[in-house]
């Protein structure tokens, strides 16, 4: 090797070493544990030290750490590095931005829980418990939020803010239940957001994900709808990306991430919904064993009015006040991992006041009076009623109509020929708003039958027969009758398998009625609107003597 070649190689080594110094030194000066600040005009190093650093740490240390030669002149745009250990630490709070149902919070060093209400704030060490049909949203110092769902227990393990840097360290522990997280992208090396369960820790730096702690099965699940989540324990860590989920059995390492089911196809109702209950439907999803349906007051889903798992691609939404709501549905696949959401962000309900319950004529019944009478109960929501009679179910050929009936019955204004007819009734509230009509109720006007054979007995099921449209197969019905509309002390409280209830020896006077559907899986739907009717003593004596029973058709 010649001297010139050696000099060339030696120069190359020196140049590479210099390059290493140029590249590596800034990295060493700003390790991962540092927080970086870009200097602005009029910043001084002592002001920055006082604003961001712990008391007692002199600004000269910050000057030496960043090799600032002239503390009086910080160049705008310069990057100043502050070790995280020097930053001011302050306790942060979690705020309740929405709550529906009953939740309780046990504060640190407290023995008795307190009810959770909107606007409350909690620090670390607080334990939150939600009851059935309860949900709440917590907002943290950086704006991140979690939706805590029913039958959950959540502990706030760490809520820390690094002074005025914007970095937060948020750590919560889900003992049981489920939550949905919406984490603001974190900035800064010390920023952290994690959700732990008895078997896993899910850590993120900005994403949308769900965590389930299944205490009965001794398992945990993490489902990522946007971003990435590190899920791990002392055995293994896995990176779960958008559209994937991972299940972890008790005591085991996290499994392999699985693809989540796609969002089902939903046709959101374009027109206002005036039917209650309303059947919300979607297309069946391949691979879905069940579906989760959630209803909220708005598209933020800060609290849930309904959170239900169903087997079929439909669900009956409960009776709702008029307004705009949000609905979302997702499939549940293998391993109980829940898929991506299909959302209807604005479903308009215009179904109040609800129509009354129908007494006579019942749908499909035969009427013999050529000027039939039409009777219904008195709705607690109604000031008057609108009634229509038609020869077709679409009510395109109206035969009679009265728009403001103050009582609970009306008679056809003219004699009708024998034939097939339809009628319906709607409630009008005190403001004059007319709610939805009942379904078209068909009946047949037929000729009087021949007189019965003398002595032939007339059959009667009871003093009052309640009946209503039959629901899906396997449904049961919970029926209550009371003397007061609050049903404080129901005198009849029973569950039947068929959409009919015979009531015998029912005393006379005013009665309030309501019905609730019980699904095959035990889920109890909402109560129907409170209705009232009256049984007269004459009717009682007539029924007891063998006359026909009064009939009440419940339009649910």
**pLDDT tens series, the chain, 556 aa:** 333 333 333 434 443 333 333 332 333 333 447 888 899 998 999 999 989 999 989 999 999 999 998 888 898 999 999 998 899 889 999 999 999 999 999 999 888 999 999 999 999 999 999 999 999 999 999 999 999 999 999 999 999 998 888 889 999 999 999 999 999 988 777 888 999 999 899 998 778 999 999 988 889 999 999 999 999 998 899 999 999 999 998 888 998 999 999 999 999 999 998 877 788 999 999 999 999 999 999 999 999 999 999 999 999 888 888 899 999 999 999 889 999 999 999 999 988 888 888 889 999 998 988 999 999 988 888 999 999 999 999 999 999 999 999 999 999 999 999 999 999 999 999 999 998 898 899 999 988 644 333 333 333 445 666 766 677 778 888 889 899 999 999 999 999 988 877 777 778 888 888 888 887 867 677 787 788 877 776 444 444 433 333 444 444 4
115 and 253 both lie in a single domain = yes
504 lies in a domain?
Answer: yes
66 and 78 both lie in a single domain = yes
Give the other-Cβ count within 10 Å of 435's Cβ.
Answer: 24
258 phi and psi angles, rounded to 5 deg: -115, 150
Do the strands 168-182 and 192-196 form a parallel or antiparallel pair, or are they unpaired? parallel
Percent of the chain predicted with pLDDT > 70: 86
199 lies in a domain?
Answer: yes
Helix (H) or strand (E) holding 548: none
171 phi and psi angles, rounded to 5 deg: -135, 120
- Outline where 369-435 has alpha helix (H): none
DSSP 8-state assignment for residue 264: P
Report the CATH number that the domain containing residue 214 is assigned in CATH.
2.60.120.1440
CB 54 within 8 A of CB 85: no
CB 330 within 8 A of CB 301: no
CB 408 within 8 A of CB 377: yes
Q: How far is CA 226 from CA 158, 178, 307, 345, in A?
A: 24, 18, 22, 18
Angle made by CA atoms 304, 309, 315, in degrees to the nearest 5: 85
* Number of independent structural domains in the chain: 5
304 and 363 both lie in a single domain = no
pLDDT number for residue 156: 96
Q: Cis ω on the peptide bond leading into residue 361 (within 30° of 0)?
A: yes
Q: For residues 529 and 509, what is the distance between their CA atoms, to the nearest angstrom?
A: 20
- Of 424, 436, 423, 422, which Cα lies nearest the Cα of 382? 436
Residue 531 in tokens: 């209705």
Report the CATH number that the domain containing residue 319 is assigned in CATH.
2.60.40
Q: For residues 75 and 43, what is the distance between their CA atoms, to the nearest angstrom?
A: 9
Report the CATH number that the domain containing residue 405 is assigned in CATH.
2.60.40.10
Question: Does this model's pTM top 0.75?
Answer: no
144 lies in a domain?
Answer: yes
102 and 243 both lie in a single domain = yes
Residue 468 in tokens: 């209503």
Structural domain ending residue among the three candidates 55, 86, 117: 86
Residue 460 in tokens: 């009667």
Q: For residues 443 and 423, what is the distance between their CA atoms, to the nearest angstrom?
A: 8
Residue 496 in tokens: 């039947």
119 lies in a domain?
Answer: yes
Helix (H) or strand (E) holding 92: none
Q: Would you say how long the chain is, in residues?
A: 556
Burial class (CB in 10 A: 0-12, 13-18, 19+), 4: exposed
207 and 95 both lie in a single domain = yes
469 and 525 both lie in a single domain = yes
Q: How far is CA 542 from CA 290, 377, 460, 507, in A?
A: 52, 21, 10, 13
469 lies in a domain?
Answer: yes
Count, in order, helices (H) and strands (E) of the chain: 4, 43
Structural domain ending residue among the three candidates 196, 228, 259: 259
105 and 251 both lie in a single domain = yes
80 and 95 both lie in a single domain = no
- Of 326, 330, 348, 347, which Cα lies nearest the Cα of 339? 330
145 and 241 both lie in a single domain = yes
Q: By three-state DSSP, how is residue 549 classified?
A: coil
pLDDT number for residue 474: 82
pLDDT number for residue 548: 39
334 and 377 both lie in a single domain = no
- Of 251, 265, 183, which Cα lies nearest the Cα of 217? 251
Q: How far is CA 459 from CA 34, 298, 496, in A?
A: 89, 53, 22
Q: How far is CA 480 from CA 474, 487, 498, 507, in A?
A: 20, 8, 15, 15
Range of the domain at 301: 278-347
Q: By three-state DSSP, how is residue 27 classified?
A: helix
265 lies in a domain?
Answer: no
Q: For residues 144 and 146, what is the distance between their CA atoms, to the nearest angstrom?
A: 7
CB 149 within 8 A of CB 79: no
pLDDT number for residue 463: 60
107 and 196 both lie in a single domain = yes
43 lies in a domain?
Answer: yes
183 and 106 both lie in a single domain = yes
Burial class (CB in 10 A: 0-12, 13-18, 19+), 180: buried
Q: What is the DSSP string of 46-84?
A: HHHHHHHBPTT--HHHHHHHTT-S-TT-PPTTPEEEEEG
Structural domain ending residue among the three candidates 71, 86, 101: 86
Q: For residues 399 and 273, what is the distance between their CA atoms, to the nearest angstrom?
A: 27
451 lies in a domain?
Answer: no
Give the other-Cβ count within 10 Å of 549's Cβ.
Answer: 18
End-to-end CA distance of the chain: 100
């Amino acid at each position: 090797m010649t001297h010139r070649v050696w000099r060339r190689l030696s120069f190359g080594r020196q140049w590479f070493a210099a390059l290493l110094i140029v590249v590596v030194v800034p990295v060493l000066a700003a390790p991962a544990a540092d927080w970086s600040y870009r200097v602005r005009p009029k910043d001084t190093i002592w002001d920055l030290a006082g604003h961001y650093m712990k008391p007692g740490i002199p600004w000269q240390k910050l000057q030496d750490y960043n090799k600032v030669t002239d503390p009086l002149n910080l160049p705008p745009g310069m990057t100043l590095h502050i070790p995280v250990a020097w930053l001011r630490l302050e306790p942060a709070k979690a705020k309740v931005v929405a709550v529906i149902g009953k939740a309780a919070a046990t504060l640190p060093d407290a023995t008795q829980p307190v009810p959770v209400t909107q606007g409350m704030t909690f620090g670390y060490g607080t334990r939150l418990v939600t009851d059935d049909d309860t949900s709440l949203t917590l907002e943290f110092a950086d704006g991140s939020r979690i939706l805590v769902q029913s039958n959950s227990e959540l502990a706030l393990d760490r809520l820390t803010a690094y002074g005025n840097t914007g970095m937060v360290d948020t750590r919560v522990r889900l003992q049981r239940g489920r939550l949905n997280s919406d984490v603001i992208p974190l900035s800064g090396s010390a920023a952290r957001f994690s959700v732990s369960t008895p078997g896993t820790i899910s850590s993120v730096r900005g994403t949308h994900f769900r965590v389930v702690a299944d205490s009965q099965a001794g398992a945990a699940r993490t489902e990522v709808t946007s971003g990435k989540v590190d899920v791990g324990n002392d055995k293994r860590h896995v990176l779960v990306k958008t559209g994937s989920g991972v299940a972890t059995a008790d005591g085991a390492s996290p499994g392999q991430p699985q693809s989540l089911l796609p969002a089902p196809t939903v046709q959101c109702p374009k027109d206002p919904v005036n039917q209650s209950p309303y059947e919300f439907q979607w297309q069946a999803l391949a691979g879905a064993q069940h579906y989760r349906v959630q209803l909220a007051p708005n598209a933020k889903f800060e609290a849930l009015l309904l959170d239900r798992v169903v087997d079929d691609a439909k669900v009956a939404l409960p009776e709702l006040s008029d307004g705009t709501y949000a609905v979302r549905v997702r499939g549940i696949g293998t391993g109980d991992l829940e898929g991506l959401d299909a959302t209807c962000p604005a479903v308009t309900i215009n179904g109040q006041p609800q129509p009354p319950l129908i007494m006579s004529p019942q749908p499909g019944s035969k009427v013999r009076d050529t000027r039939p009478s039409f009777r219904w109960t008195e709705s607690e929501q109604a000031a008057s009623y609108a009634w229509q009679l038609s020869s077709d179910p679409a009510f395109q050929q109206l035969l009679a109509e009265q728009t403001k009936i103050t009582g609970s019955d009306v008679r056809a204004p003219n004699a009708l020929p024998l034939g097939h007819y339809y009628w319906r009734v709607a409630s009008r509230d005190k403001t004059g708003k007319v709610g939805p009509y009942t379904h078209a109720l068909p009946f047949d006007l037929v000729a009087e039958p021949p007189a019965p054979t003398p002595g032939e007995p007339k059959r009667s099921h009871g003093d009052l027969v309640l009946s209503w449209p039959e629901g899906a197969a396997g449904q049961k019905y919970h029926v209550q009758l009371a003397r007061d509309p609050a049903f404080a002390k129901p005198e009849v409280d029973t569950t039947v398998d068929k959409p009919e209830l015979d009531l015998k020896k029912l005393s006379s006077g005013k009665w309030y009625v309501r019905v609730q559907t019980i699904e095959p899986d035990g889920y109890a739907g909402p109560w129907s609107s409170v209705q009232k009717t009256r049984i007269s003593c004459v009717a009682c004596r007539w029924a007891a003597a063998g006359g026909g029973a009064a009939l009440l058709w419940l339009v649910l």
